[in-house]
Structure 1
Amino acid sequence: MKVLHVNAGLESGGGLTHIINLLKEAKSEKKDFTLLCLADGPVAKAAQEAKINYHVLGVKSRYDLTSLRRLSDFINHGNFDIVHTHGPRANLYLALIKGKITAKWCVTVHSDPYLDFKGRGFLGKVFTRQNVRALKKADCIFAITKRFADLITTKTGISAAKVHVIYNGTFFHDDSAIPAKYEHPHFNIVNVARLEKVKGQELLLQALKKLDNGNVHLYIAGDGTQKRSLQELTQKLELGPQVTFQGFMTHKQLKHLYRRMDLAVLTSYSESFPLVLLEASDNLLPILSTDVGDIEMMIPDKRHGFIANTGDVASITAALQAAVNTPKEELKQMAFREKAYVADNFSLNKQLSSILTVYQSLIKGD
């Protein structure tokens, strides 16, 4: 079975990690997977570093539809059985050439398709409609959470038989391979996410202000369209001494940063099954998240982490306060407990096995 994964190539967050990790696992299991990036960028660079079989189609812009013929030729001449797209742009391209290829087409929905372009005005609405139309044409959809699966079937009218819930997985390291934490005087929290409306960093800043604890320091690792407005909000709330904008960070840089952190936090309005929290857990950080996606599958109870209500500053503040008030030894044991749980349930091996089962059923016509 030959499988082609297609992405725009410009991902720099969880989507990039999902794609690269999945193909690394496939390579380790000797599966015939290839990655095609529509444009050169972070994904192709990460694939090269991971020694994954990849190609770049060379699309010049979002509106470069002259590359559609090259894309269909690449798929047909490569004799791929499955084409698996990630992201709205790749979805649109496959929707436009679906009638010209023989391969079955799968899509992974990494986030709420109705929120992906939130805050982008008229063009955002256009992109949202195009992406939803593309999803309807796919042979199969992988939803990262049951909530997304339910949303897709109820809001778009796509048949439930086409939608499969498969949770994200990641590589987990032995605890002995995780470097010891640095001693530090403050209670440090880290938010690793794109700086976009959907990630809700403004809620985290407001909660930090309400917490009113100068010993709590926030590190925001990521970049995006909301960077300036978030920096302005930080100054407006007089939180400058407590907040550091790290910008985009590589995995190596993040691992170093994690050694000075006490808590990993996501305050998103929407998530699938956030890989950044799995990765933080692998690095033995306790985690806090808003009640997004199927987060209760990742944090099953209060012994494994902290959950706040989505979009609720007061609830986020209370969860932060609970974490700050927890003795350091208890937080340490929580981190060990959570890592053991997620490593047992959300490995890349399990994720890939579930995806391969669906591929096989598509090829057989089940």
Structure 2
Amino acid sequence: MKILHLITGAETGGSRKHVITLLEQFSKDEVVLALMHEGPFAEEARQKGIRTEVFSQNSRYDLSILKKLVAFIEEEQFDLLHTHGPRANLFGIYLKKKTGIRWVTTVHSDPSLDFVKSGVKGKVFTALSMYAVKKMDGYFAVSERFKQNLMKLGIDGSKIHTVYNGIHFMKENAEPIPRSELGLTDEDFVMAMVARLHPIKGHTIVFQAMKRIEAEERPHLLLVGDGPIKEELEEEVKNLELNSHVHFLGFRSDVDGIYASSDLALLASYSESFPLALLEAANQHVPIVTTDVGGVKELVEDGTTGWIVPVGDASTYAEALHGAVGRRKKGTLADMGETLYQYASERYSLEQLEQATRHLYTHLIQK
């Protein structure tokens, strides 16, 4: 078995971590990672011992690498192509046509929303992306709900395999980032939101919810991640007069420590499959407030291990934050995080991720 994974290499969020974590479960002879950019992604993959090849583009519209990828696939005699993300999926159409290689994808986001706020080009790329998604031989859905979403796009359900994300669950919490380094105290209520700064992630909903909370009880929000709307979000925080409570931390490699220093983890996305960030929060025994997207109901039990609120509803989100603040005052919030950890660690291991992925690979190769 020899698998080529293709992704742009510019990712900084959950898809990057998912790919690296997955490839670590396979032997060096079984998987190769192909990227379109040198950078932190490539560097991290090599540090993990993953064979990494970069096919650099002059721009995202540079198609000259396609012939190089075709030659690479034929020379190395790969059994399967596994793409991640809309650009890699578009390239997969050409690669399959030229080489005949079997092709599988992990859909990390809703393809109809990948190019939100990208104007006319966004509409064109959305159409191409939707076309590409329907051309694969197999699909990984990271939740049952997301499998249903793919089927609504007209994809044969027999080609879609639900494979839950997995992480290495620690027996002990990570070392918390000292709150003093962030200008915070032990008395402050601290929330962590790990998400790229993109419209689909719903940061605005969180800001609006925070504004509904009285200043003396208002939590502090740690924003981990970077993205195309950073300046827009910073301006919104300023306009809402939340500067003293919203902290932009940028990309961080110590997410576990940030979660360990937090009282609550947040997700406010308009669309997700199965957010890896929530598993990372569970790993640090931190309860969650999340919008009702993707497979979150398969992880979070509303009122027991966190709160699930409707998408785009700032008022209900604020009620959930109020509830979390109240639980902390009563001393029961940490118990919710402990219950979440026990549930997640039993069901979302790296072992199940590797076994389920290998099973589909073997099935497709032997067809």
Structure 1-normalised TM-score? 0.94
* 2:300 maps to 1:304: no
Offset of 1:180 from its aligned partner? 5.8
**Distance of 2:58 and 2:299 partners within structure 1:** 39
Q: 1:223 to 1:214 in 2, by over 3 A?
A: farther
**Distance of 2:11 and 2:37 partners within structure 1:** 11
**Distance of 2:348 and 2:29 partners within structure 1:** 20
CA offsets per residue over residues 60-95 of structure 1, 9 Å max, x none?
A: 221111111110111111111111000111111111
> Paired residue for 1:324?
325
CA offsets per residue over residues 148-188 of structure 1, 9 Å max, x none?
A: 22222223x2222222221211111112x533685612101
Amino acid of the residue matched to residue 61 of structure 2? Y
Identify which of 157, 161, 164 aligns with 2:161. Answer: 164
List aligned pairs for 1:334-353, cutoff 5 A. Answer: 334-353=336-355
Identify which of 139, 145, 148 aligns with 1:147. Answer: 145
List aligned pairs for 1:205-284, cutoff 5 A. Answer: 205-215=207-217, 216-250=219-253, 252=254, 254-284=255-285
In the alignment, structure 1 segments of 5+ residues that lack a partner are: none
SS for the counterpart of 2:3 is: strand
Amino acid of the residue matched to residue 340 of structure 1? Q
**Distance of 1:300 and 1:244 partners within structure 2:** 28
> Paired residue for 2:63?
65
Q: 1:242 to 1:31 in 2, by over 3 A?
A: same
List aligned pairs for 1:195-214, cutoff 5 A. Answer: 195-214=197-216
> Paired residue for 1:55?
53
**Distance of 2:349 and 2:67 partners within structure 1:** 37
Amino acid of the residue matched to residue 19 of structure 1? V
List aligned pairs for 1:115-130, cutoff 5 A. Answer: 115-130=113-128
SS for the counterpart of 1:296 is: helix
Amino acid of the residue matched to residue 300 of structure 1? E
**Distance of 2:75 and 2:99 partners within structure 1:** 10
Offset of 1:308 from its aligned partner? 1.2
**Distance of 2:103 and 2:111 partners within structure 1:** 18
Offset of 1:129 from its aligned partner? 1.1
**Distance of 2:44 and 2:130 partners within structure 1:** 28
Offset of 1:100 from its aligned partner? 1.7
Amino acid of the residue matched to residue 41 of structure 1? G
* 2:176–2:258 contact (8 Å) kept in structure 1: no
* Worse-matched range after superposition: 158-167 or 188-197: 158-167
* 2:301–2:307 contact (8 Å) kept in structure 1: no
* 1:39–1:56 contact (8 Å) kept in structure 2: yes
Amino acid of the residue matched to residue 2 of structure 1? K
Offset of 1:97 from its aligned partner? 2.2
Amino acid of the residue matched to residue 26 of structure 1? F
CA offsets per residue over residues 253-284 of structure 1, 9 Å max, x none?
A: x2332343111101111111111111111122
SS for the counterpart of 2:140 is: strand
SS for the counterpart of 2:168 is: coil
**Distance of 1:95 and 1:226 partners within structure 2:** 30
**Distance of 2:176 and 2:75 partners within structure 1:** 50
* 2:192–2:221 contact (8 Å) kept in structure 1: yes
Offset of 1:31 from its aligned partner? 6.6
**Distance of 2:176 and 2:209 partners within structure 1:** 29
**Distance of 2:109 and 2:222 partners within structure 1:** 24
Amino acid of the residue matched to residue 9 of structure 2? G
* 1:214–1:242 contact (8 Å) kept in structure 2: no
* 1:135–1:141 contact (8 Å) kept in structure 2: no
Offset of 1:364 from its aligned partner? 1.8
* 1:169–1:350 contact (8 Å) kept in structure 2: yes
Displaced runs of 4+ in structure 1, greater than 6 A? none
* 2:350 maps to 1:354: no
**Distance of 1:298 and 1:211 partners within structure 2:** 27
SS for the counterpart of 2:212 is: helix
Amino acid of the residue matched to residue 360 of structure 1? T
Q: 1:336 to 1:68 in 2, by over 3 A?
A: same
**Distance of 1:180 and 1:231 partners within structure 2:** 26
Offset of 1:41 from its aligned partner? 2.4
Cα RMSD for the two superposed structures: 1.7
Offset of 1:103 from its aligned partner? 2.5
Identify which of 176, 179, 194 aligns with 2:175. Answer: 179
Q: 1:181 to 1:285 in 2, by over 3 A?
A: farther
Identity percentage of aligned residues:
39
Amino acid of the residue matched to residue 15 of structure 1? S
* 1:2–1:33 contact (8 Å) kept in structure 2: yes
Identify which of 43, 46, 50 aligns with 2:44. Answer: 46
**Distance of 1:102 and 1:260 partners within structure 2:** 50
Amino acid of the residue matched to residue 24 of structure 1? E
**Distance of 2:116 and 2:351 partners within structure 1:** 33
